[in-house]
Structure 1
Amino acid sequence: MPSRDDLLRLDGVHTHIGEYHILQGVSFQVPRRGITALLGRNGAGKSTTLRTVMGLWRASAGAIQLGGQAISHLSTPEISRRGIAYVPEDMGIFASLTVQENVRLAALSSGLESERLLWIFELFPALRRFWLRPAGTLSGGQKQMLAIARAIIEPRQLLLIDEPTKGLAPGMVDSLIHALLELKKADTTILLVEQNFHFVSMLGDHVVVMDDGRIVHESSMADLVQQPSLQERLLGLDTEAAAHSIHER
C-alpha cells in the first residue's frame, strides 16, 4: 500500500516550559490538502503543540518535518518563510490599526496583490465593508476572519488555527465553516485546534486526540464521528447533546 502524503510530521516531540514537561513524546501526521483536527480536553497540550511547530516554544527532543524537511531547529520567521502561518487563540490583530493596515502588515510584498485580495473578500465579505475601520471596532467573529485573512494574504502550505469558534455566534460559525472549506478546496492544508466537536466534525478529514501531553487517538474524522462512546471517552463530552445545544442557540 502506498504511504499517505503527509505535509507535517511530528516524531517523539517533547516540549518543556520552565520546569513543566508539557509535550511528552508527541507523534502524529498532517495529510496534505485537508483539515486535521487536534482535539483534547483543556490543558492537554494542543496549543503548546501549535506553538512548538511554529518555533515559538522550542522542542526539547524529537523531530518536526514540513514536506520531509526538518524545521524544529529553525527560528519562527524562518518557519513562516517555509509557508506556515499561525492564527493564535487571541487572534493577534492590532486593534488601533484599520483592517487594511492589519492585512498590509502581514503581506510580504510591498503592495496587496489584487487577485488574492479579491479572493479573500469572497471568503470574508465583511472585511471589504469594514476595510477602513479600526480593527478594534469589529465583532469577535469579524476579528477572527481578519486574523485568518492576515494569515493567508500570502500563499501558505500550512495554516495553524487555535480555537477559531471560541465565543462566536452560530451565524459566524457557519461563515467560518464555509471559509475553511473554501481554503481546503484551494489546496491549503489546515491543522485546527478546537473544542467544538460538532464544528470540526463538519470540516475535518483527519483527527488527532491529545491527553496530558500525549497522543491517545488518531484516525479519520469519519471513523470518530461514527463512535459516540469513543468520543465521550476521549473528549469527556456528550457530543449528541452538544450538537443539539448548538442547533438550539
Structure 2
Amino acid sequence: MPEAPDNNAPLLTLQGVHTHIGEYHILQGVDLVVPRAGLTVLLGRNGAGKSTTLRTIMGLWHASAGALRFDGHDITKEQTPDISRRGIAFVPEDMGIFSGLTVQENLRLAAIGGRFDDKRLDWIFGLFPALKRFWLRPGGTLSGGQKQMVAIARAIIEPRKLLLIDEPTKGLAPAIVDNLSQAFLELKAHDTTILLVEQNFHFVRALGDHVAVMDDGRIVHAGSMQALSNDEAMQARLLGLHAGAVH
C-alpha cells in the first residue's frame, strides 16, 4: 500500500536520477525537490538536461537509476498515462498542438470524457481571453503565442496537481509574455504547483518561489528565487556562462 501523501512534504522529489537516451548519459544523478503550491524554476544552459528532466518525470523517458516520487507515490517505473492520471500535465517546448484540429477540439481531447466544465472553461477564458477569438480556428493557423496559450489551456482544462512547462516564452512577443506571467500568477493563487524550464531570467525572477540550476546533467544549485535575485555575485557564478540566454 502506498503511503498517504503528507501535505507538508514536497510534491515531487527526484533522488539520484540518471537517464540515458541511447548511448548518451544525459541526467547524471539529479536531486530535485519541488515544494507544493509554488513555482519552481529550472535554469541552465542549452543541453544541461532540463528538458530531459521534465520528460523523465512524465515517463516519456525512463530513469536508468534513481527514484522519482510524486505526492506519496513512487512513479519511477510508471508509464506516461498513469503518471498523467495522478495529476501531472506536460507542456512541451514544441507545444504539441494538433494542427488540423480547432482550438476547441484540441482542448476537448484533454477533457475527461470530452466534456468541458463550463465554470472551469470560463476561468481559462479569463486567463487567456484571446482563446475565445480563435476558438474555432485550426491550430495550424495560430501564431506561436496563440499556440502557447492553447497548449497551457489544454494542460489545465482539468485540475492538475503539477504542471511541467518547457520554455514557454521562447520566441514570443512581450505582450504574450506578460499574459503568460499573469496566468502563472493566477495558477499559483489556485494552489497549482508549477515546474518551469526557462532561460529568460527576468521573466522568472518575478514569478519563481524556488530555483534550481542545472549543468552537465546535475543540479548544481537549489534555493529560493528571492535569494538568487538579490545576489548578483551568485547570479554571475551560476548564470554568468549563460548570460546571453538568461539575463
**TM-score, length of structure 1 as denominator length:** 0.93
Q: Which residue in 1 is equivalent to 2:40?
A: 36
Q: Distance in 2 between matches of 1:42 and 1:191?
A: 17
Aligned residue among 117, 137, 156 for 1:113? 117
Deviations 1:191-234 (A, max 9, x none): 00000000110110000000000110000000000112221221
Q: Which residue in 1 is equivalent to 2:238?
A: 234
Tell me the SS of whatever aligns to 1:109.
helix
Q: Which residue in 2 is equivalent to 1:246?
A: none
Which residue identity is paired with 2:28?
A: Q
Percent of matched pairs sharing the same residue: 70
Aligned residue among 74, 77, 83 for 2:81? 77
Which residue identity is paired with 2:174?
A: P
Report how far residue 4 of structure 1 moved: 5.5
Whether 1:132 aligns to 2:144 is no
Q: Which residue in 2 is equivalent to 1:196?
A: 200
Q: Which residue in 1 is equivalent to 2:212?
A: 208
Which residue identity is paired with 2:148?
A: Q
Q: Distance in 2 between matches of 1:109 and 1:203?
A: 33
Query: How many residues were matched structurally?
Result: 240
Q: Distance in 2 between matches of 1:167 and 1:110?
A: 31
Q: Distance in 2 between matches of 1:238 and 1:188?
A: 30
Q: Distance in 1 between matches of 2:120 and 2:191?
A: 15
Q: Distance in 2 between matches of 1:148 and 1:62?
A: 29
Deviations 1:18-75 (A, max 9, x none): 1111001100100100000000011000000000000000000000000121001110
Q: Distance in 1 between matches of 2:218 and 2:15?
A: 12
On the 8 A contact 1:161/1:193 being kept in 2, the answer is: yes
Q: Which residue in 2 is equivalent to 1:157?
A: 161
Which residue identity is paired with 1:16?
A: H
Q: Distance in 2 between matches of 1:110 and 1:87?
A: 19
Q: Distance in 2 between matches of 1:166 and 1:95?
A: 19
On the 8 A contact 1:99/1:133 being kept in 2, the answer is: yes
Aligned residue among 12, 24, 31 for 1:27? 31
Which residue identity is paired with 1:103?
A: L
Q: Which residue in 1 is equivalent to 2:56?
A: 52
Aligned residue among 195, 199, 223 for 1:219? 223
C-alpha RMSD of matched pairs (Å):
1.5
Q: Distance in 1 between matches of 2:175 and 2:196?
A: 20
Q: Distance in 2 between matches of 1:33 and 1:77?
A: 23
Deviations 1:163-208 (A, max 9, x none): 0000001111000000010000011000000000001101100000
On the 8 A contact 1:231/1:237 being kept in 2, the answer is: no
Tell me the SS of whatever aligns to 2:69.
strand
Q: Which residue in 2 is equivalent to 1:123?
A: 127
**1:4–1:110: structure 2 CA closer, same or farther, 3 Å change rule?**
closer
Whether 1:178 aligns to 2:182 is yes
Report how far residue 237 of structure 1 moved: 4.2
Q: Which residue in 2 is equivalent to 1:14?
A: 18
- Unaligned 5+ runs, structure 2: 1-6
- Unaligned 5+ runs, structure 1: 244-249
Which residue identity is paired with 2:102?
A: T
Q: Which residue in 2 is equivalent to 1:61?
A: 65
